């Protein structure tokens, strides 16, 4: 018998949003809308698609493992040094690399919860303890988070805007935390949705990198840039942290298509603006419609809303699925009475509202 590492027994499977194919097969529906995984309903940037066509002749060649053009583009875009950037096969791989580079057996990692499940997965798979701080759909104070940090804490995960609640932290809150936490604890600030944030006091945080070499800013091409299927994420941090991540990084994890698509998407301001406009309009519409049905819609800075449905949340999710609308129930996040809905195109949002009204009635 081949024994796997004991850490594996603690891991539970990742629960993704249901796929369109899955629902089509199960219910035999022609029209299916997925508002479950915070993907961009406009699709990828057309410039990214064009860039991918352009590499068809070189698919037999290995990609450049150091992704120099992409690193260069990101360096220009954010005005940070190239040596402050590492790219990954999705930011999921950035989290994985952080685990391999920094988390030891017997350590612990602390995160605000409920949140994105990959932090816990990475922590446990590296033999450390996971400490979640906060429950329910409110905002966990970073002072409460700090109170759980001890000498064994290797990484603190802060997701802002938080998936799935949409909660965010201000510069003052984050700086207060950074100034108090030990400089030997990595502060992993996950900004997967930063580009969607509209609050005036939502901070980009790049100006804190110099002062806090233990701060890591995580970003992705999966959300606003619409490239979830091709897998590119990146981290911006101090040079020491970045050096360690490059060391552990698999050499060819960012494929050719991903590299050219990401560069093109980063330069496609029009696509980003279109996406932001649709997101703003979708939020406004869904917030009004869903609140009018009597449900609590949480404030959000992302491309999704978290809604308190109540005890029958699961029933509603199933009702919608049977009719071709996939949203995300949040039981696996520890919020069994809530759902998370990604902003769709106007007609998709209207379809959701129509079905929700049917369910309520
Ligand atoms: C979607 C998401 C990511 C993952 O992004 P990939 O780059 O697709 O791996 C990371 N963090 C949070 C909070 C997310 O919601």
Ligand 1 within 6 A of CB of 165:
no
Reported pTM: 0.97
**Whether 237 contacts 210, CB under 8 Å:** no
Q: Tens digit of pLDDT per residue, the chain (361 long)?
A: 899 998 898 888 777 778 899 899 889 898 999 999 999 999 999 999 999 999 999 999 999 999 999 999 999 999 999 999 999 999 999 999 999 999 999 999 999 999 999 999 999 999 999 999 999 999 999 999 999 999 999 999 999 999 999 999 999 999 999 999 999 999 999 999 999 999 999 999 999 999 999 999 999 999 999 999 999 999 999 999 999 999 999 999 999 999 999 999 999 999 999 999 999 999 999 999 999 999 999 999 999 999 999 999 999 999 999 999 999 999 999 999 999 999 999 999 999 999 999 999 9
Distance 195 CA to ligand 1 centre (A): 13
Distance 350 CA to ligand 1 centre (A): 26
Which ligand 1 atom sits closest to the C-alpha of 223?
1
Rounded CA-CA distance 189/175 in Å is: 12
**Whether 193 contacts 163, CB under 8 Å:** yes
Give me the pLDDT at residue 156, please: 98
Ligand 1 within 6 A of CB of 222:
yes
Distance 269 CA to ligand 1 centre (A): 21
**Whether 222 contacts 30, CB under 8 Å:** no
Rounded CA-CA distance 342/344 in Å is: 6
Ligand 1 within 6 A of CB of 91:
yes
**Whether 51 contacts 263, CB under 8 Å:** yes
CA distance to 35, 226, 304, per residue, from 328 (Å): 8, 19, 10
Which ligand 1 atom sits closest to the C-alpha of 159?
13
Give the position of tokens 């945080």.
205
Shortest-distance Cα residue to atom 11 of ligand 1: 192
Q: What is the dihedral of CA 194, 209, 243, 75, to 10 degrees?
A: 60
Q: Are strands 129-133 and 153-159 parallel, antiparallel or unpaired?
A: unpaired
Distance 258 CA to ligand 1 centre (A): 16
Q: What are phi and psi of 119, to 5 degrees?
A: -60, -45
Give me the pLDDT at residue 14, please: 76
Ligand 1 within 6 A of CB of 289:
no
Rounded CA-CA distance 61/146 in Å is: 47
CA distance to 129, 158, 168, 206, 261, per residue, from 138 (Å): 24, 14, 11, 26, 37
CA distance to 29, 68, 256, per residue, from 56 (Å): 34, 20, 10
Give me the pLDDT at residue 234, please: 98
Ligand 1 within 6 A of CB of 192:
yes
Residue of 91, 159, 341 best suited for mutating to test ligand 1, as the one with most atoms within 8 Å of CB: 91
Distance 222 CA to ligand 1 centre (A): 7
Distance 40 CA to ligand 1 centre (A): 13
Ligand 1 within 6 A of CB of 89:
no
Give me the pLDDT at residue 15, please: 75
Shortest-distance Cα residue to atom 5 of ligand 1: 91
Ligand 1 within 6 A of CB of 228:
yes
Ligand 1 within 6 A of CB of 163:
yes
Q: Environment class of residue 153 by beta-carbon count within 10 Å: exposed (0-12), middle (13-18) or buried (19+)?
A: buried
Give me the pLDDT at residue 1, please: 87
Rounded CA-CA distance 146/48 in Å is: 41
Distance 67 CA to ligand 1 centre (A): 20
């Amino acid at each position: 018998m081949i024994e796997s590492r004991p850490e594996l027994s603690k891991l539970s499977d990742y629960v993704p949003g249901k796929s369109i194919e899955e629902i089509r097969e199960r219910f035999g529906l022609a029209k299916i809308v997925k508002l479950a995984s915070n993907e961009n309903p406009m699709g990828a940037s057309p410039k990214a698609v064009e860039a991918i066509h352009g590499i068809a002749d070189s698919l037999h060649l290995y990609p450049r493992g150091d992704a120099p053009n992409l690193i260069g583009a990101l360096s220009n875009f954010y005005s940070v040094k190239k040596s402050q950037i590492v790219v990954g096969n999705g930011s999921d791989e950035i989290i994985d690399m952080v685990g391999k580079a920094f988390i030891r057996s017997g350590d612990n990692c602390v995160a605000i919860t409920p949140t994105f499940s990959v932090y816990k997965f990475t922590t446990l798979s590296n033999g450390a303890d996971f400490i979640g701080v906060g429950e329910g759909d409110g905002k966990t104070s970073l002072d409460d988070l700090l109170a759980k940090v001890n000498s064994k804490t290797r990484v603190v995960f802060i997701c802002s805007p938080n998936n799935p609640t949409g909660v965010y932290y201000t510069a003052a809150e984050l700086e207060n935390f950074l100034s108090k936490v030990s400089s030997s604890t990595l502060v992993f600030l996950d900004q997967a949705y930063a580009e969607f944030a509209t609050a005036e006091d939502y901070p980009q945080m790049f100006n804190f990198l110099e002062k806090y070499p233990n701060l890591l800013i995580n970003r992705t091409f999966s959300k606003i840039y619409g490239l979830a299927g091709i897998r590119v994420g990146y981290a911006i941090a101090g040079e020491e942290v970045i050096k360690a991540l490059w060391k552990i990084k698999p050499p060819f994890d960012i494929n050719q298509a991903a590299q050219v698509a990401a560069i093109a998407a980063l330069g496609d301001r029009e696509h980003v603006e279109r996406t932001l406009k649709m997101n703003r309009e979708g939020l406004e519409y869904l917030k009004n419609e869903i609140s009018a049905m009597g449900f609590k819609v949480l404030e959000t800075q992302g491309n999704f809303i978290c809604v308190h449905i109540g005890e029958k949340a699961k029933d509603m999710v199933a009702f919608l699925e049977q009719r071709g609308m996939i949203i995300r129930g949040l039981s696996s996040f520890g919020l069994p009475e809530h759902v998370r809905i990604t902003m769709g195109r106007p007609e998709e949002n209207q379809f959701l509202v129509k079905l929700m009204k049917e369910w309520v009635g």
